[in-house]
A and B are shown apart, each in its own frame.
Chain A
Amino acid sequence: MAIDHRMTRRIARASLVGTMLGLASMACGQSAPPMGANLEGVWKIAAPTTVLKPIAGAVPFTAEGRKAYEANKTLRVQRKFDDYDITLSRCSNPGVPRLALTPMRFKIWNRQGVVTFDYEWNRALRQINVGVPPQPDLMGQGLVPTMTGKSKGHWEGDTLVSVMQGGSDRTLIDDLVPHGYDLKVTERYRLVDANTLEDRITVEDPAFFTQPWTSVVTYKRQPDAIFAEDVCLDRIAAKQPAFSK
């Protein structure tokens, strides 16, 4: 996006001036990605799916993981969605990594040391902190597990690496695969080409999986756009599915 290049130049100029004046470095400068790593834009999943499929083999469930997975399958057949998937039943945030499978578009913003995933689906947000120093939690918000947990990111060359932890156990990995509080999701975002974004997702949770497993989801760049308001609860109220095509 055009503004990004202007921003980059402004940041570079400001950083130079700051250095010359002996000022402390700015948070923005510390987290600026290297050249060629601009992930900003509008994206959409290339091959819509509800399943996060391992790149090799099957999901390596532990006995506990397998049991929970089979229970979810049974509940789905019984259409007891709220008993295992509050995204489908209530439009609750799908969390990480399931947000990666949302069928609608999303935008990526890389500003102020934060990479923001700005989803069209239900106006959901997910952020990766790549440069904002930790702040005192004066309102105690960090005490409660959240659907998207806390994502800490850094750049490895052109790749944005994010590690998410602290997520609620009320989300699913995809539309069926369960996890616990010890879920750790490592993502590696990179541009395969100018119009293709890849998210290489590694899932770890010793209680549910015998070993880390990895999946890859790709996205295609979309024209810049103002998204219409997507209100999932309006769909539910109209007896439509939480996820529209």
Chain B
Amino acid sequence: MTTRFPFSTTMRRPIAAATALMLAVTPALVQAQQGPPGGQMQLPPGASGGPPPGAPTGPVLTDAQKIVADLPPPGPGLIPPRPPLPADAVMPTADPRDLQGTWVNNQPLQFRSQRDMYGALAPYTMAGAKVLSRRVMSLKAGKPFINASAICRPPGPQWQRDLNFPFSIIQDKDHVEVLFEEYHGRWYISLDPQGVPLPTQKQYMGRSIGHWDGGTLVVETTDFRQAIWLDVDGTPLSANGKLIQRMRKVSDVGRVPFLEVVTTIIDPTYYTAPWTIVRTFGWAPHQAVFAEYNCEEQVGDPSVSADAGLVPEPRD
């Protein structure tokens, strides 16, 4: 990731405002791309339409990508209101290998991660495109599928991080623990699988082993107990998929550091090649006291529908 943008708590409202502005101007942008309304564009004398000879053409979509490109667009994500970082708040340590503290996604929630960090459409296999399409269309039809989060099961590390709710990172010499406010989320990363063994049984959150690459914590997560949804719309990852997360503090002088997590998704079942997304998380020590998450109270309530109106997803 070469793009760096310093985070400050005062950026949240501008980001939200920018998002709203972007939404407001989107129809105008679409119209501009399609040309002026009601007629043929007037070209200068001697000019012909289209790109000049030899100019690179746009990306050619695979049949699988065309399926995804034709889906209804994902909903616009928002940033929930959060209290601003107090001026006297404790700051992260200067040690790049100390990621400890409380962080929260500082970008609008991405309901569907269908493009990589460079803007290219994800390299879906036909199976991946069909699974995503099935999930998006079920949502559109008002009959969304049951997923892990809907039944109080751990939804996987990507979904868990993406939510705009805080999480705290705690480091020990041989492992890292991430405690999430939501879903009773725990993400354990072993830095020394021989010293502190990971559970032998497969976990919903997978099996995560990390090492330091300079000031970046590189974490490989594999061996998921079941296939997971990478986001709310259901971008798929099979149980045999792998996530490689590169986590680092980005700290420009005079700015409040933020946490960057670059995640590479590797899953031949659903993607023809690895693809990578990036998220950033703001420093939030003032949100270290979490709101309680107790989904079991609602899910188990006999007076309401156990599946909350969701329907089982057909098996592949």
Contact = CB atoms under 8 A, between A and B. Distances in A.
Nearest to A113: B288
B184 A233 contact: no
Contacts of B171: 3
B90 A90 contact: no
A211 interface: no
A116 B179 contact: yes
Interface string B271-308: 00000000000000111111111101101111000000
A234 B154 CA distance: 11
A3 B173 contact: yes
A138 B84 CA distance: 11
Contacts of B95: 10
B216 interface: no
A235 to B, nearest CB: 12
B301 A26 contact: no
A91 interface: yes
B257 interface: no
B26 interface: no
Interface stretch (B115-123, B185-193, B228-236, B248-256): B185-193
Interface string B184-207: 111010100000111101011100
B90 A92 contact: no
B172 interface: yes
Nearest to A228: B199
Interface size bracket, B side: 35 or more
B168 to A, nearest CB: 7
Contact of A229 (B152, B179, B205, B302): B205
B192 to A, nearest CB: 11
A228 B203 contact: yes
A224 interface: yes
Interface string B170-186: 11110101010000111
Contacts of B62: none
B101 interface: yes
Given A111-B168, A132-B288, A139-B80, A90 B88 contact: no
A226 B203 contact: no
Grouping DSSP codes into helix (H, G, I), strand (E, B) and loop, the B interface class, with mixed when no group exceeds half, is loop
B297 A129 contact: no
Contacts of B302: 82
Contacts of B91: 14, 26
A122 to B, nearest CB: 6
Contacts of B82: 138
A202 interface: no
Contact of B172 (A2, A29, A118, A232): A2
B189 to A, nearest CB: 9
A24 B87 CA distance: 9
Contacts of A22: none
A27 interface: yes
B151 interface: yes
Interface in B148-170: 151-154, 168, 170
Nearest to B93: A10
B245 interface: no
29 contacts: A3-B100, A3-B172, A3-B173, A24-B88, A27-B286, A82-B300, A89-B300, A90-B297, A90-B300, A92-B300, A93-B292, A111-B168, A112-B101, A116-B168, A118-B179, A125-B292, A127-B289, A129-B289, A132-B286, A133-B86, A133-B286, A138-B83, A148-B292, A226-B196, A227-B199, A229-B205, A233-B151, A233-B300, A234-B153
- 10 nearest A-B residue pairs (beta carbon): A90-B300, A123-B184, A228-B199, A24-B88, A138-B81, A146-B292, A26-B90, A135-B83, A91-B296, A112-B288
Given A111-B288, A125-B179, A227-B186, 12 more contacts: A10-B93, A26-B90, A27-B89, A90-B301, A93-B296, A124-B184, A138-B80, A225-B196, A226-B190, A226-B199, A228-B199, A229-B205
